Structure 1
Amino acid sequence: MAALNVSLSFFFATFALCEAVRRASKALLPAGAYDSFAREAAGAAQLGACCLEMRMLVEIGPWAGGFGPDLLLTLLFLLFLGHGATLDGASANPAVSLQEFLVAEASLASTLLKLTAQALGMQVACALTRLCWAWELSDLHLLQNLVATHCDSALRTTVAQGALVEGACAILFHLTLLRLRHSLPVYRVPAMALLVTVMARTAGPFTSAFCNPALAASVTFHCSGHTLLEYAQVYWLGPLTGMVLAVLLYHGHLPRLFQRNLFYSHRKKYRTPRGKAAAGCGDTQMPTKGHSSREPGQNWRGRQPWLNPGTARS
């Protein structure tokens, strides 16, 4: 239990440090620099450090600390609740940033700056987490520090199956994100945290279900067992392909590249009933066929002087 308390303290310290960086950056930097760089770098560092510590608990905790799967899944859900509540709008995910670019919600310059910040934040997270492990504050950190150079790969299946699993998880993740991106955080944050927890439970034994190219690169690309190209196919090509397919399924097209809808046809919400023509602006005074245009008390012949004999004689 002491090891779990140390890990919880690590999580709280990471959240507090990254929150302090966000507040200082927001006060000192222009809004554009904060939104596109500082916020993303702090969010990526927070996400990367917590996921590295969580991965250590998942790999070593069951046999060295007696942690059950229920405890680990609950802790993962609470962590992503905390991320959703504190990231201040940052995605800390290159696939999400590219999704925002494809749906024309972010410019190219802003997207490139976010990608750079996310990569930098993940590298900072790796350095700080390994420094904390080197202090050996708990037995789990001591064991992790001993096996850090011989980590196990998160890819525990074939490359083709791994890419398929990551792509399927990415489709589900991005479709949910697209559906909930304009909803209130009180609904969006728990829904996304629950989705991540379910994907980690179902796809975790195969690929760990990262759905985040930068996070996967910092966590498992240095582990032995697969080449860099194989890792890239599973953790970069798979999630990015799934993201593009999710945007196509949701919008019917890629708004950044073309406007023609490939899947869905836009129909009018209100349609004119068949057989009834809509009257135009100049037709309001036109008499309807089959109806008389006489005014009350006026003879039809009186309105037609050429048919009135008295008028014709005069």
Structure 2
Amino acid sequence: MAGLNVSIAFFFLAVGVCQALRRVSKRLLSPGAYGCLARELAGSLQLCMSCLELRMLVEIGPWGGGFGPDVVLTLLFLLFAVHGASFDGASANPTVSLQEFLLLESSLAATAAKLLAQGAGTGTGWAVTRLYWSWELTHFHLIQNLIASECSSSIRTALHHAAFAEGTCSFLFHLVFLKLRQSQPMYRVPALAATVTFLTYAAGPFTGAFFNPALATVTTFHCSGSSFWDYVQVYWLGPLAGMLAALLLYQGNIPRLFQKNLLYSQKSKYKIPKARAVAAHAEGDEPRRRRKGEKSNSEPRA
């Protein structure tokens, strides 16, 4: 249990450091630089450090600490609830940033800056977490250091099944995200955290359930057992296809690519009652009758 307490303290430390980084950068940087760079870097750093430590507990905890998946899933829900409340609008997910670009909510330059910041944040998070593990504060970290050089691929099923699983997770996550993005944080944050927890529980045994290309890249691409192209298909193309499918289903189109709605007919939200429509038509005809009468009266009589 002592090892679990150390991991929980590490979670709190990661959130605290990244929150301080957000506050300092918000004061020193312009709103544009903060939104595209510092905010995404801090969010990706926080997400990567937390998920790597949690992944270590998933792999070693059941036999090294004696606790089951219920503990890990509870921690996962609480962590993503904290992430949603503290990210300050950052996505820390390349597919979400690309979705904003396709929705015309972000420019190409801003999207590229966000993707670079997310890559830098996850890379830094991986390096910091590896350094923290090297201190071997618990027996979990000692075991992690022993098996780190021999990590195996997170793809534990056929390649097309794995790509479909990651794509489906991304599709469901983005569908919920699109539905709730305009709602109040008190409803949006726990709903997204519950969605991530459920998807991780369902697809975790097959692919690890990342549905986040940046996080998957630093976590599993260096492990043996699958080729680089296999990883690209499962962890990059799968989530990207899921995001596009969710956006198309929710919007009916992809605004950045085409304006025509392919799935839903464009109907007016407001219906005019028939009696009012007849009255409006009669009022519109009255001036025309008057003009016609005035014109006939002005004609010379024989």
Q: TM-score w.r.t. structure 2 length?
A: 0.92
Deviation at 1:282, TM superposition (A): 3.5
Aligned to 1:54: 54
Alignment pair present for 1:270 and 2:291 = no
Query: How big is each residue's C-alpha offset from its partner over 1:190-248, in whole Å with a ceiling of 9 and x where there is no partner?
Result: 00000000001111111111110000001011111000000000000000001011110
The separation in 2 between residues aligned to 1:26 and 1:155, in whole angstroms, is: 39
Unaligned runs of 5+ in 2: 290-302
- Give secondary structure in 1 for the equivalent of 2:281: coil
Q: CA deviation at 1:152?
A: 2.3
Tell me by how many angstroms 1:286 deviates.
Answer: 8.2
Map of 2:284 onto structure 1: 282
Q: In the alignment, what sits opposite 1:255?
A: 255
Deviations 1:154-187 (A, max 9, x none): 1111110001011111111001000000101000
- Count residues with an aligned counterpart: 286
Shift of 1:258: 1.2
Q: Secondary structure of the equivalent of 1:216?
A: helix
**Residue 256 (structure 1) shift:** 1.1
* Equivalent residue number for residue 43 of structure 2: 43
Structure 1 segments unaligned to the other structure (5+ residues): 288-314
Q: What is the 5 A alignment of 1:1-314?
A: 1-268=1-268, 269-270=270-271, 273=274, 277=278, 278-279=280-281, 281-284=283-286
Q: Partner letter of residue 270 of structure 1?
A: K
* Deviation of 1:153 (Å): 1.6
- What is the alpha-carbon distance in structure 2 between the residues aligned to residue 280 and residue 152 of structure 1? 77
Report the counterpart of residue 290 of structure 1 in structure 2.
none
Name the one with the larger helix percent.
2
Tell me the distance in 1 between the aligned counterparts of 2:200 and 2:251.
27
Cα distance in 2, alignment partners of residues 220 and 271 from structure 1: 58
Identity of aligned residues (%): 58
CA distance in structure 2 between the partners assigned to 1:63 and 1:280 by the alignment: 82
Residue 252 of structure 1: how far off its partner (Å): 0.4
RMSD, aligned CA: 1.5
Letter in 2 for 1:103: L
Distance 1:202 1:46 in 2: 24
How far the C-alpha of 1:63 sits from its partner, in A, is: 0.4
Cα deviation for residue 285 of structure 1 reads: 6.5
Provide the TM-score with structure 1 as the length reference: 0.88
- Structure 2 Cα separation of the partners of residues 186 and 140 of structure 1: 35
